[in-house]
């Protein structure tokens, strides 16, 4: 089983993928091509995605039972002791943003406290 998810990709690429896969939702393609065809499709997706993003997930013979690849995503697959996990980079200053959000009172709290409606 192969699943390809496209985001913000050219319409022509979507039309190209419908030759081998079924589009079950906007930008979501599913099918069961051979490994050779799957790799050829993925090469075409990477070449013609333009400014868009793409994700490929397919079944394979490993502990998880599937593998995936990404194209132009900020989240990347990382191998950890034989398991593929997604590395989601943290934005710089997340800790500062959390502490800044905790300081002071919310607008709703101020209205309740001071009786303004």
d(CA 27, CA 49): 12
Tell me the DSSP string of 22-72: EEEETTEEEE---HHHHHHHHHHHHHH-TT-EEEEEEE-SSSSSEEEEEES
- Tell me, what's the pLDDT at 101? 53
At 7, phi and psi to the nearest 5? -130, 125
Q: What is the pLDDT along the chain (117 residues), one digit of tens a residue?
A: 999 999 999 999 999 999 999 999 999 999 999 999 999 999 999 999 989 999 999 999 988 999 999 999 888 889 888 888 888 888 764 555 444 555 567 777 777 777 766
- Tell me, what's the pLDDT at 32? 96
- Tell me, what's the pLDDT at 61? 92
**Statement: the pTM of the whole predicted model exceeds 0.75:** no
Whose CA is closest to 29, among 66, 49, 10, 55? 55
Cα 95 to the chain's mean position, in Å?
A: 24
- Tell me, what's the pLDDT at 106? 76
- Tell me, what's the pLDDT at 116? 63
Angle among Cα 49, 19, 7 to the nearest 5 degrees reads 30
- Tell me, what's the pLDDT at 103? 57
């Amino acid at each position: 089983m192969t699943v390809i998810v496209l985001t913000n990709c050219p319409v022509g690429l979507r039309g190209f993928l419908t030759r081998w896969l079924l589009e079950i939702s906007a930008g979501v393609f599913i099918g069961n091509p051979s490994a050779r065809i799957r790799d050829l499709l993925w090469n075409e997706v990477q070449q013609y995605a333009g400014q868009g993003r793409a994700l490929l997930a397919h079944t394979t013979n490993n502990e998880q039972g599937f593998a995936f690849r990404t194209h132009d995503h900020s989240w990347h697959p990382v191998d950890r002791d034989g398991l593929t996990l997604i590395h989601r980079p943290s934005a710089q200053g997340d800790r500062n943003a959390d502490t800044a959000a905790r300081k002071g009172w919310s607008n709703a709290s101020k209205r309740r406290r001071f009786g303004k409606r």
